[in-house]
């Protein structure tokens, strides 16, 4: 059984990084709102990046969803994990899910919204 | 802008509230139903069931009547049990578990088999086994009744004080049943007190509708027993095994003393699927039967199926030291027995907490104080089973306090409509063997 101390540490680390990403995301959105960045589809490259990023995020989400199978037995319901524990497990999973979600959103926004001023002509 | 943001936050909070709600909508049927041999009454948080074996029904008829009564009281019973089985068994495990149950059937008592067959007659699944079809088939009702033998174990703990340590001078026993209740609270919805009336014996089971074995129960000879699993990691085999919950029912039905019931369960010729412990109490004393039949003991010596008392020597590094009291969590402790205690925090923490809490109650323990001990939790709410060390934890679905001498029974049942256990468990005083009607 995984120690709850380790799980709480993982959760704390994930929340810290997620918070940092959230701050960067707010800064990014404020630039978009201020008209300093705008959306650029980036053609086939944009589609490939979107598909790869979504696949990676989906892959992570899938494995998080199936973590109880690894920890206990195949098909363990989340409700049972909540009762059996360890107590830090749900916190770690929640923090990891938020981190992955935040990282995915940040990566997408960062990639598809490009600088209007200071960028090259090609980028515009 | 600010108004929009606030509106968005409120909407999000409402969405989360709906998504995270742990209230369960309980489908209720008839509040009381009676037919020849069977009566069932909804008591609010549990069902009071009487199975009268003196009514002249065959065992199969009795099972069928019980099944019909269950469907009257809980119209969605089949969906509840079927979904519970599906939650506990993946598509992959489901057929294997049915085969395991099939392995146990030849060793089952014919009367019990007939009762289960009768239950199956009342349900709609027939002989077709389909996982998650909201119907109960014949094999699935066998599976449900053999759950502890072929699917999952119960966790639990047991504690009893007797003699000078009891405020009444006679035994006060307590036990917690820590079992996954289902993500829709399936087990709490069907929790029940089942009284079985025979010509010369009465039996009371604190259990579940449609479950005919004994998880916690007692007879009118004042012998109380409760099962506690104690898995030792040995490979599982269902070939030739018996059901210990059904055997415990037989032991309580057919013996008059705690010693005889205990001896029946430790019979070396009886093999079970899972190593386990049974707490036994009578008005005078209590013992813990450590039923380890597959694992090896210290120095690779042969297994132990022995009785532990308050004076028994325990494995190195484990102590009890409380006279006139016995307790157990999910581990073997007897000297020489397989040590599945020390490697598991969920055992060591609860054992320490049980000891400390009991000692804090002093030399003269009342039923209320015993309730306090088995209700122990470190935080404000019950913690997780594996690492909180709480005797009353998130998995606790039943807590029973029983005094054999007076047949006084008090039970905490997890509320049917709430998945999270309440901060303070509320015990209900339950009249048994028609106490309300006088002797």
Q: Is residue A86 part of a domain?
A: yes
Mean pLDDT value of segment B42-53: 97
- Tell me how far apart the 2 most distant CA atoms of chain B are, in Å: 79
- Tell me how far apart the 2 most distant CA atoms of chain A are, in Å: 58
For residue B216, give the nearest of B397, B437, B435 by alpha carbon. B397
Note the pLDDT tens digit of each residue in B63-98. 999 999 999 999 999 999 999 999 999 888 999 999
- pLDDT score, position A52: 96
Query: Which residues of A fall within a CB distance of 8 Å from B394?
Result: 82-85
pLDDT of residue B31 exceeding 60, the answer is yes
Query: Which residues of A fall within a CB distance of 8 Å from B90?
Result: 73-75
Min CA distance, A85 vs chain B (Å)?
A: 5
pLDDT band at B179 (very low <50, low <70, confident <90, very high): very high
Residue of A5, A29, A83 for testing the chain B interface, max B β-carbons within 10 Å: A83
- pLDDT score, position A117: 65
Check: CB of residue B188 under 8 Å from CB of residue B414.
yes
- DSSP letters for A1-15: ---HHHHHHHHHHHH
Task: State whether B386 and A85 contact (CB < 8 Å).
Answer: yes
Q: Which domain covers residue A100, as residue numbers?
A: 54-116
pLDDT of residue A51 exceeding 90, the answer is yes
Quote the tokens at residue B384.
């997780």
Task: State whether B387 and A75 contact (CB < 8 Å).
Answer: no
Within B255-392, residue ranges assigned H as helices are 258-265, 345-360, 367-374
Strands (E), B115-162: 157-161
Strands of B47-52's sheet in order across: B32-35, B38-42, B47-52, B191-197, B202-208, B216-219, B224-229, B276-281, B286-291, B305-308
- Measured CA to CA, the distance from residue A24 to residue A45 in angstroms comes to 24
Note the pLDDT tens digit of each residue in B269-315. 999 989 999 999 999 999 999 999 877 766 666 667 899 999 999 99
Min CA distance, B343 vs chain A (Å)?
A: 11
Strands (E), A1-124: 37-39, 113-115
Positive or negative: CA dihedral A42, A45, A51, A55: negative
Note the pLDDT tens digit of each residue in B394-404. 999 999 999 99
Name the β-bridge partners of B428.
B411
Which chain A residue has its CA at the smallest distance from B84's CA? A77
- Measured CA to CA, the distance from residue B223 to residue B281 in angstroms comes to 6
ipTM of this complex prediction, to 2 decimal places: 0.81
Question: Which backbone phi and psi does B23 adopt, to 5 degrees?
Answer: -80, 140
pLDDT of residue A107 exceeding 60, the answer is yes
- pLDDT score, position B16: 47
Q: What is the mean pLDDT of chain B?
A: 92
Quote the tokens at residue B28.
């209720």
Min CA distance, A52 vs chain B (Å)?
A: 29
Say what percent of chain B tops pLDDT 70: 91
Q: Is residue A97 part of a domain?
A: yes
Per the rule left: phi > 0, alpha: psi between -120 and 50, beta: everything else, A78 is: alpha
Cβ neighbors of B350 (< 8 A, separation 6 or more) are B157, B329, B389, B390, B391
- pLDDT score, position A73: 77
pLDDT of residue B244 exceeding 90, the answer is yes
- Burial pattern B104-139, b for ≥16 Cβ within 10 A else e, equals beeebbebbbbbbbbbbbbbebeeebebebebbbbb
Note the pLDDT tens digit of each residue in B400-426. 999 999 999 999 999 999 999 999 999
Domain boundaries, chain B: 54-149, 153-201+210-423
| Domain B153-201+210-423 = CATH 3.60.60.10 | yes
CA atoms within 13 A on the CB side of B341: 25
Cβ neighbors of B108 (< 8 A, separation 6 or more) are B242, B243, B246
pLDDT band at B11 (very low <50, low <70, confident <90, very high): low
Sole residue written with tokens 């020489």: B336
- Number of domain units in chain A: 1
pLDDT band at B439 (very low <50, low <70, confident <90, very high): very low
For residue B426, give the nearest of B435, B438, B413, B439 by alpha carbon. B413
Cβ-count burial of A57 within 10 angstroms (0-12 exposed, 13-18 middle, 19+ buried)? middle
Which chain B residue has its CA at the smallest distance from A75's CA? B90
Residue B387: which of A4, A73, A75 has the nearest Cβ?
Answer: A4
Within B266-305, residue ranges assigned H as helices are none
Check: CB of residue B65 under 8 Å from CB of residue B111.
no
Mean pLDDT value of segment B44-63: 97
Quote the tokens at residue B261.
């019931």
**Stronger pLDDT, B8 or B198, i.e. the higher one:** B198
pLDDT band at B231 (very low <50, low <70, confident <90, very high): confident
Q: Cα-atom radius of gyration of chain A, to the nearest Å?
A: 19
Note the pLDDT tens digit of each residue in A58-88. 999 999 999 888 877 777 889 999 999 888 9
In chain A, residues 9-68 whose CB comes closer than 8 Å to chain B: none
Strands (E), B144-201: 157-161, 172-178, 191-197
């Amino acid at each position: 059984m995984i120690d709850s101390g380790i799980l709480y540490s993982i959760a704390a680390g994930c929340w810290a990084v997620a918070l940092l990403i959230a701050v960067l995301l707010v800064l990014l959105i404020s630039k978009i709102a201020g008209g300093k960045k705008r959306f650029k589809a980036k053609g086939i490259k944009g589609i490939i990046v979107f598909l790869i990023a979504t696949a990676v995020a989906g892959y992570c989400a899938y494995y998080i969803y199936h973590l109880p199978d690894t920890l206990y037995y195949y098909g363990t319901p989340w409700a049972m994990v909540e009762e059996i524990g360890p107590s830090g497990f749900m916190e770690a999973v929640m923090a990891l899910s938020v981190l992955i979600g935040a990282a995915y959103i940040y990566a997408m926004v960062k990639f598809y919204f490009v600088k209007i001023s200071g960028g090259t002509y090609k980028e515009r | 802008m600010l108004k929009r943001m606030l509106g968005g936050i409120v909407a999000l909070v409402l969405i989360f509230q709906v998504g995270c709600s742990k209230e369960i909508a309980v489908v209720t049927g008839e509040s009381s139903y009676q037919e020849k041999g069977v009566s069932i009454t909804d008591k609010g948080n549990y069902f009071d069931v009487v199975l009268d074996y003196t009514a002249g029904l065959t065992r199969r008829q009795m099972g069928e009547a019980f099944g019909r009564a269950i469907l009257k009281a809980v119209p969605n019973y089949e969906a509840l049990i079927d979904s519970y089985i599906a939650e506990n068994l993946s598509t992959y495990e489901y057929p294997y578990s049915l085969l395991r149950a099939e392995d146990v059937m030849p060793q089952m008592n014919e009367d019990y088999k007939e009762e289960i067959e009768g239950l199956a007659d009342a349900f709609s699944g027939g002989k077709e086994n389909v996982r998650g079809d909201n119907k109960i088939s014949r094999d699935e009702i066998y599976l449900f009744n053999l759950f502890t033998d072929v699917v999952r174990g119960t966790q639990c703990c047991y504690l009893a004080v007797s003699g000078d340590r009891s405020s009444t001078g006679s035994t006060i026993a307590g036990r917690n049943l820590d079992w996954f209740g289902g993500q829709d609270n399936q087990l709490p919805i069907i929790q029940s007190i089942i009284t079985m009336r025979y010509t010369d014996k009465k039996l009371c089971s604190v259990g579940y509708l449609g479950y005919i074995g004994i998880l916690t129960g007692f007879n009118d000879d004042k012998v109380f027993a409760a099962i506690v699993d104690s898995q030792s990691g040995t490979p599982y085999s269902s070939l030739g095994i018996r059901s210990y919950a059904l055997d415990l029912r037989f032991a309580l039905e057919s013996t008059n003393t705690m010693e005889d019931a205990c001896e029946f369960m430790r019979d070396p010729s009886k093999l079970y699927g899972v190593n386990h412990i049974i707490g036994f109490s009578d008005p005078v004393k209590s013992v813990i039967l450590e039923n380890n039949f597959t694992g090896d003991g210290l120095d690779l010596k042969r297994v132990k199926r022995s009785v532990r008392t308050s004076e028994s020597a325990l494995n190195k590094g484990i102590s009890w030291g409380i006279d006139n009291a016995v307790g157990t969590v999910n581990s073997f402790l007897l000297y020489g027995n397989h040590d599945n205690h020390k490697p598991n925090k969920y055992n060591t923490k609860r054992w320490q907490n049980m000891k400390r809490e009991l000692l804090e109650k002093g030399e003269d323990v009342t039923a209320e104080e015993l309730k306090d001990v088995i209700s122990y939790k470190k935080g404000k709410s019950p913690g997780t089973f594996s690492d909180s060390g709480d005797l009353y934890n998130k998995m606790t679905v039943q807590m029973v306090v029983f005094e054999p001498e007076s047949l006084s029974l008090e039970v905490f049942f997890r509320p049917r409509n709430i998945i999270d256990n309440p901060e303070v468990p509320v015990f209900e005083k339950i009249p048994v063997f028609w106490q309300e009607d006088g002797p």
